[in-house]
Amino acid sequence: MSVEAERDFVEHMKWDEVARRIAAGTAAILPIGAGAKQHGFHLPLNTDRVQAEFLAAQLARRIDALVWPTLTYGHYPAFAEYAGSTSLSAPVFEAVVAEIASQILGHGCRALLVLDTGISTRASVERALARLGAGKAVHLQIHDGPRYRRAIAELARQGQGSHADEIETSLMLAIAPELVEMSHAEASPMIAQVMPGPLTPTDRASPNYSRSGSFGDPTLATLEKGNALLAAMVDDLNEQAAAFLARLAHPATSARGAAS
């Protein structure tokens, strides 16, 4: 991480610096990205964390925000059978997110943006933020932005996938190419379900068997695809964040716009 990016991460700051930024109206970002979740033979277990912190740094520079330490444990039951992968139960994860978010807002941050790179974590994060009330926190939709979805439709060549696949591997080639070992990339067998249940590296009779842990075809990944996908994702995130902060700053105007 660059020195410029570190200035927005509270773990690199003194507490009085954080207090001054909060008093000046800086928003907060809480990245959520697994530090121990298998990503095939070609990507490290902290792939989600790498993505979450890169995206948080990009967003913080655009909207003036402080970034809290990444929550690296979450609800990832689909990968528990692969060595090193660690998953919390949904209720425990929800409680952790709610408690951290409450304390961040309790310091006086005007808004909290939760930047979550997971899929199985979505429902728990939504429930956790709903418990806070007051409407000062938002769950950013990393994978659902219109630019990003269009980019996937235009670039993806794999028949199916959603994990350590063509798309995620391309993103990692753009974010941290030194962590990607393309010579070890291995496509998963065709899995009947669009969103499979828990993957398995051992049960060859299972419809969710994946020797490598990938779901999709990472061998199709390229840096060019990654750059295009990443640019679309960052633009989507910035638009979501800016719109949310504008609604908080001008609630009456936002309400009139919604009514019309």
Pairing mode, if any, of strands 112-116 and 137-140? parallel
The stretch 36-46 carries a mean pLDDT of 98
Tell me the per-residue pLDDT of 197-246, one tens digit each, with 9 for 90 and over: 799 999 998 889 999 999 999 999 999 999 999 999 999 999 999 999 99
CATH number of 3-246: 3.40.50.10310
Tell me the per-residue pLDDT of 113-154, one tens digit each, with 9 for 90 and over: 999 999 999 999 999 999 997 799 999 989 999 999 999 999
Hey, how many other C-beta atoms are within 10 angstroms of the C-beta on 223? 13
Tell me the per-residue pLDDT of 69-99, one tens digit each, with 9 for 90 and over: 999 999 999 999 999 999 999 999 999 999 9
Tokens of 132: 């806070």
pLDDT reported for residue 259: 47
Tokens of 118: 């997971």
Domains of the chain, by residue range, sit at: 3-246
Share above pLDDT 90 across residues of the chain, in percent, rounded to a whole number: 85
pLDDT reported for residue 133: 78
